[in-house]
Structure formats: C-alpha cells, structure tokens
C-alpha cells in the first residue's frame, strides 16, 4: 500500500544493502526520495521525479548542510523533509580496546555516530518549521549487546541509540518522532566483506567475526534479506507508527532474546 504517499525522505547509504532496499520500498510506497551515498547512485533505481541522488562522504564537515541543500534543489516543491533515514554505516574489524587503531576508531565513530547526529541537527531545524517528521536510525544488535562486534562499532551503535532517545525526547512537542531499528545479521555488502578477496581495502567495511557464528556466509543461512529491515524502517517512518517515539525495534529473527 502507498503509506508514504506525498512524503519526502532522505535516506543515507542508499546505494547498497538495507539503504537500497529502503529506497525501493519507499518509492513503491509513494514517497519522493533523495538517496545519499559515498558510492555512485544505485543503477537499480532510475533517477526521476521520485528519486534523486546526492553523492557525498558523510564524514565531510559540510556533508549535512550539503544534503539539505541537495534536497531543496532536487525537490523545490517540497517544503518539508518528512522522513530521515540514517542508514549508512561501516563495520570495524572486531578490535577490542587493546588492538583498536585510532584510524578505525575515528572512521567508525565519524560515519556511524557523528554523521547521523549532524544530519539530524540540520533536518530537525526544517521539520520544526514544517509541522514535524519522522527519523529512523539504523543501529544494530551491537547497539545493545557487547558481544556482537568490536569496541568502535559497538560504542557507535550504542551511542546512536542514545542520540535517538534524546532526539525523541527533546522534539516530541514539535511532532518529530525518532526511532531506531536494530538489525541482526542481514545479507548485504557489509556481510560479503567477510570475503577478504572482495573486500574494498580503501574502506573500513570489515566483518566482525561474531556474525560468522550466526550466519553461514556461503549460503546466507541465518541472515535476513535487506527487505526485512526495510519493512521495519517503513513502519517507523510512516504514520503507521504514530505515537511511537524513542523506540528501538529489533529486526533479528529473535537474536535479541539472548
Ligand atoms: P552496505 O555496506 O551494503 O551499505 C552501506 C552503504 O553505506 C554503502 O552503500 C556505503 O557506500 C555507504 N557508506 C559507507 N560509508 C559512507 C560514508 N562515509 N558516506 C556516505 N555513505 C557511506 O551495508 P548494510 O548492511 O546495508 O548497512 C546499512 C546499515 O545497517 C549500517 O548502519 C550497518 O551498521 C547496519 N547493520 C547492518 C547489519 C548487517 O548484518 N548487514 C547488521 C546490523 C546493522
């Protein structure tokens, strides 16, 4: 059904995995979407009046303001950014505090925590002036568990939940809702980066070994498709979840009960 008819959204990490599945689902649901990614625009989604793309590295100081400016020029008839999905993220390599390098730490925190906070800042200013909106942050099982990844990724995803709850609390009178999903293992490029041969060594997208305990990376058994996470994002982004804010929704086929 077209639960996002007339809504305009920004989705980060739009070129791959959960972000790409969310772009497709949002467009099918009636939304107008600005996709954002470090990588090039996804070839699976044609550019047109319902989809535009802004290529930017989210760790650049000017990224958040450039995204909001790109939205305004892509969709001049849309006064509000109704929906923000902070989805872009990178893995660490399961380093603990004793093996963590400053480089991995800085990059993981910059992409997974600082960038979503800064983008929420720019978007909340616009939502406040236009009657509110809905923000969905993509955290992780590692946002509540200490046993799912390295310290940088774990701290970044815990931190993102803190930012989600604080934003939900501070802007509830502005009709801005802010929620998070916590996926378990999802078949995406992050999971594929376990295969070192296919790994992009220019990025820090590496797979924490713990995921391998739960997922057979050859078959993908135990991991969900990205569409499953996208469905949960759609629910939290849309008016179907009216009244829900500051919530964290596990999307992990029951892994969260451990
Ligand atoms: P993915 O690698 O398939 O997609 C991530 C996208 O983010 C890529 O297109 C990448 O180019 C983009 N990106 C990375 N760094 C960027 C930057 N600096 N600026 C702009 N774009 C950048 O991975 P995915 O699994 O779809 O990940 C999406 C989110 O889901 C992440 O936040 C990840 O932590 C989270 N997550 C994934 C899993 C899983 O098992 N795949 C589990 C839990 C949480």
Domain range annotation of the chain: 8-251
Average pLDDT of every residue of the chain:
90
Q: What is the pLDDT of residues 116-141, one digit of tens each?
A: 999 999 999 999 999 999 999 999 99
For residue 112, pLDDT beyond 90:
yes
Question: Could you tell me the distance, in angstroms and rounded to a whole number, from the CA of residue 13 to the centre of ligand 1?
Answer: 6
Beta bridge partners of 12: 36
Q: What is the pLDDT of residues 48-83, one digit of tens each?
A: 999 999 999 999 999 999 999 999 999 999 999 999
Please report how many Cα atoms fall inside a 13 Å half-sphere around the Cα of residue 24, on the Cβ side: 17
What percent of the chain lies above the pLDDT cut of 90? Answer: 86
Architecture of domain 8-251: 3-Layer(aba) Sandwich (3.40)
Which amino acids bring their CB within 6 angstroms of ligand 1?
A: 13, 15-19, 37-39, 57-59, 87-90, 111, 138, 140, 183, 185-186, 188-191, 205, 226
What does pTM read for this prediction? 0.92
In terms of Cα–Cα distance, which of 140, 42, 41, 154 is closest to 87?
140
| pLDDT bracket for residue 184 (50, 70, 90) | very high
* Measured distance CA(151)–CA(167) in Å, rounded: 24
Give me the pLDDT at residue 216, please.
41
Which atom of ligand 1 lies at the shortest distance from residue 15's CA? 9
> ipTM, 2 decimals?
0.99
- Which has the minimum average pLDDT: 53-67, 131-145, 187-201, 206-220? 206-220
Instruction: Give the catalytic positions in this structure.
Output: 153, 157
| pLDDT bracket for residue 197 (50, 70, 90) | very low
* Measured distance CA(212)–CA(193) in Å, rounded: 12
Contact 100, 152 (CB under 8 A): yes
Give me the pLDDT at residue 192, please.
52
Question: Could you tell me the distance, in angstroms and rounded to a whole number, from the CA of residue 64 to the centre of ligand 1?
Answer: 17
Contact 55, 42 (CB under 8 A): no
The secondary structure of the chain as a DSSP string is: --TTTT-EEEEESTTSHHHHHHHHHHHHTT-EEEEEESSPPPTTS--BTTEEEEE--TTSTTHHHHHHHHHHHH-TT-----EEEE-------S--TTT--HHHHHHHHIIIIIHHHHHHHHHHHHHHHTT-EEEEEE--GGGT-SSSS-HHHHHHHHHHHHHHHHHHHHTGGGTEEEEEEEE-SB-SHHHHTTSGGG--TTS-----HHHHHH-BTTTTBTPBPHHHHHHHHHHHHSGGGTT--S-EEEESTTGGG-
* Measured distance CA(205)–CA(191) in Å, rounded: 9
Question: Could you tell me the distance, in angstroms and rounded to a whole number, from the CA of residue 80 to the centre of ligand 1?
Answer: 26
For 16, the token pair is 């791959």
Q: Please name the residue whose Cα sits nearest to atom 26 of ligand 1.
A: 17
Question: Could you tell me the distance, in angstroms and rounded to a whole number, from the CA of residue 75 to the centre of ligand 1?
Answer: 25
Average pLDDT of 193-211? 35
Question: Could you tell me the distance, in angstroms and rounded to a whole number, from the CA of residue 82 to the centre of ligand 1?
Answer: 22
Which atom of ligand 1 lies at the shortest distance from residue 188's CA? 3
For residue 206, pLDDT beyond 70:
no
* Measured distance CA(15)–CA(58) in Å, rounded: 14
Average pLDDT of 194-210? 34
Q: Which residues contact 55 (CB under 8 A, 6 or more apart)?
A: 36, 37, 38, 39, 40, 41
Q: What is the pLDDT of residues 144-180, one digit of tens each?
A: 999 999 999 999 999 999 999 999 999 999 999 999 9
Q: Please name the residue whose Cα sits nearest to atom 44 of ligand 1.
A: 140
The residue count for the chain: 258
Give me the pLDDT at residue 222, please.
73
Mutational pocket test of ligand 1: of 34, 106, 188, 216, the residue with most ligand atoms within 8 Å of the beta carbon: 188
Give me the pLDDT at residue 217, please.
41
| pLDDT bracket for residue 258 (50, 70, 90) | confident
For residue 191, pLDDT beyond 80:
no
Q: Please name the residue whose Cα sits nearest to atom 16 of ligand 1.
A: 38
Which atom of ligand 1 lies at the shortest distance from residue 14's CA? 9
Contact 248, 40 (CB under 8 A): no
Mutational pocket test of ligand 1: of 89, 153, 255, the residue with most ligand atoms within 8 Å of the beta carbon: 89
Give me the pLDDT at residue 193, please.
42
Cα 29–20–213 angle (5° rounding)?
120
Mutational pocket test of ligand 1: of 63, 190, 226, the residue with most ligand atoms within 8 Å of the beta carbon: 190
């Amino acid at each position: 059904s077209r639960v996002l008819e007339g809504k305009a959204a920004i989705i980060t990490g739009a070129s791959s995995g959960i972000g790409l599945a969310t772009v497709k689902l949002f467009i099918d649901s009636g939304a107008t979407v600005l996709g954002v990614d470090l990588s090039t625009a996804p070839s699976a989604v044609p550019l047109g009046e319902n989809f535009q793309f802004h290529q930017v590295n989210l760790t650049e100081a000017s990224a958040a303001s450039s995204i909001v400016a790109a939205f305004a020029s892509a969709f001049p008839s849309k006064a509000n950014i109704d929906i923000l999905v902070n989805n872009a993220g990178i893995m660490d390599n399961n380093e603990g505090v004793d093996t963590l390098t400053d480089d991995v730490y800085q990059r993981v925190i910059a992409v997974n925590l600082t960038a979503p906070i800064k983008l929420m800042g720019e978007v909340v200013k616009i939502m406040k002036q236009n009657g509110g909106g809905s923000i969905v942050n993509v955290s992780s099982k590692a946002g509540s568990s200490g046993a799912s990844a390295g310290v940088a990724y774990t701290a970044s995803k815990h931190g993102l939940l803190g930012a989600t709850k604080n934003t939900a609390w501070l802007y509830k009178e502005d009709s801005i809702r802010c929620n998070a999903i916590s996926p378990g293992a999802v078949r995406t490029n992050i999971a594929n980066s376990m295969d070192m041969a296919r790994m992009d060594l220019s990025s820090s997208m590496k797979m924490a070994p713990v995921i391998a305990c739960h997922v057979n990376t050859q078959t993908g058994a135990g991991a969900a498709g990205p569409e499953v996470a996208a469905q949960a994002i759609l629910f939290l982004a849309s008016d179907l979840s009216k009244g829900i804010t500051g919530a964290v929704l596990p999307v992990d086929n029951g892994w969260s009960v451990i």
